[in-house]
Structure 1
Amino acid sequence: MDRRRGLMLAGLALLLAGVSALWMVQGLGAGNRGFILSLRATKLAALITVAVAIGVATVLFQTVAANRVLTPSIMGFDALYVLMQTLMVVVLGNAGFAGLPAGLKFGADVGVMTALSVALFGTLLVRGARDIPRMILTGVILGVLFRSVSGFLGRVLDPNEFAVVQSVSFASFNRVDAALLPVAGVLTAGAVLTALRLAPQLDVLALGREPAVSLGLRHRRLVMATLALVAMLVSVSTALVGPVAFFGLIVAGLAHGALQDARHAGLIPAAGLIAAILLVGGQWLFERVLGQAATLSVVVEFAGGLFFLYLLLKGRIR
């Protein structure tokens, strides 16, 4: 099994390298190649960072929740982000929001979302981890509450301010600030490496609360640490490109299906690699083949929604 896992991860890494190289050189003319490659390299780094963060965060969250259908976004993560952006526009105004330094805004988004998310999901999962329906219902209700507050505040904004809120309420892989990538990359890499170090403990956690505790695992401590990693990863990806609801669901499903192995030492890197392949390959498809006739984020959300319905129907059939 270890050999099969290694071969699978090596194959995914080679596929990612091939897709990345294809995207970098496709359509490269005889103009200023250095400038073009520099722009593409920045966007490639952003795509890989966001993909790895979303993929790994979803795998970790599903392990804690003991449910393969849940994602952090379904539990209201994206609604929390939109509410934060709306509040900043209301308080600072259009000019003040636009004038915020990118680094300060990114740090505030990541810090506040991480703190609130750990408090929210920690309360739901640690105290009610065995009551999955109640946890889902609570998360959905909170998401509806956040969206309702955002909608109400949006009604009192003038059209220009409302347009600013709308522009940051949907994911866009074309507006990533290159100056934020080093910090985002370091945070993502640190969280992923920490998750890999916790992989053996996560394997035990996936067995369930009672078996994990009986085996000597500090269940509450590990759950809170994992939630902090999830919050960090999703906050980084959301602050970079905006909310992406269902992409992680697709990635986690493909990672489990490809490896056929529940051990997190393989699942975590597989999820990151598959997510990066899908985003980079999808961006290449829309830019070079379809001539930007569609938006990647919209297609990802549509496919993810269909996959979510498939998982629900599959569960009912069984």
Structure 2
Amino acid sequence: MEKAAARVEIGTLLLNLCHSVSPLPIEKTISESEAGKHAHLLDLLYNLIVPSSEQENVHLYHRDDRKDDGGQNSSRTSMPFRKIREILEGAFGRIRMLLENIIKCLKNVPILQPIGMVLEQILKAFHLVSSTTAAVDHETDGAVPVTIPSVSELHNIAGIHFRPLEHGGIRGIRFDQKKKCFFLPQIKLDENTEVMLRNLVAYEALTKRNYLIFTRYTELMRAIIDTVEDVEILIDSKIIHNELKDKKQAEELFNGMSKSIGPTNTPDLENEIKKVNEFFDNTEKVRAYRIISKYVYSSWKLCTLLATLVLLALMVLQTFCSVYDCPKILKTGTGTGTT
């Protein structure tokens, strides 16, 4: 009885603490005795903010299925490509070494130096191909960053409004195309928020590796908040409750959050982000801007060339007129024409 009473008392203290320090709404109601069973405070707080659901179990189930299969399907498709890539990388490496040796030899022969310069350009091309391949491999193997316009762009350009979620928390994030509303959970910003967010992200990375919904939420907030104006719009929309000294601190808080280093496996949230991007891309202002970017900005080199030619022509004309008397020539030509 004493242990049960102690557990209830500890659970009450833990729940009260979680309610006071939680930056996001508590989505799960549990008893005091159940709260006392959690391993530590972060474990309790995370499960109150992001309670486990069938969706998470589905992700775990599919992940286990791939493990049970031994990864045969993925390995069968990826192994031939890996071998081909290794062969190509080896061939590129040998060609680079050969070119480097030839260039060193040609530099000692003045007559053949032009050939060496051409080979140096080819060598640079090989280095570019290698660096591009490495960058693509890194992007493919790592996490995909959240790509979405900022709050001010979504609001001012696409007319999207932001509304606080009444229930559902992070899992309930959604975009209503008809109402042009992006629903986000409310978040409280105070002196403890940054520490709590970072600790919850770290806890999720260690314990929920197959479904990093909290991590993806912080990445979404980091992506849509770029300036103080973005923070102001979310404050006016009652999504952000700012208790910090100024709004600049709120903007710096989100921009200071680190990105995930691996895939988060959050298809539902990715789908909502995709819907926002598609809606934004189809607005008239954005389409007009992209047309201008495509047909005007892309031809800036041609415009620069034409401007340079016109300037050269004017300089030639000025030089010519400084040597010869252009007004006299023009008068003579006019007089000849009238006679």
Q: Which has the higher strand share?
A: 2
Q: More helix by proportion, 1 or 2?
A: 1
Structure having greater relative contact order (Cα 8 Å, sep ≥ 6): 1
User: If you compute each CA radius of gyration, which structure gives the higher value, 1 or 2?
Assistant: 2
TM-score (norm 1): 0.24
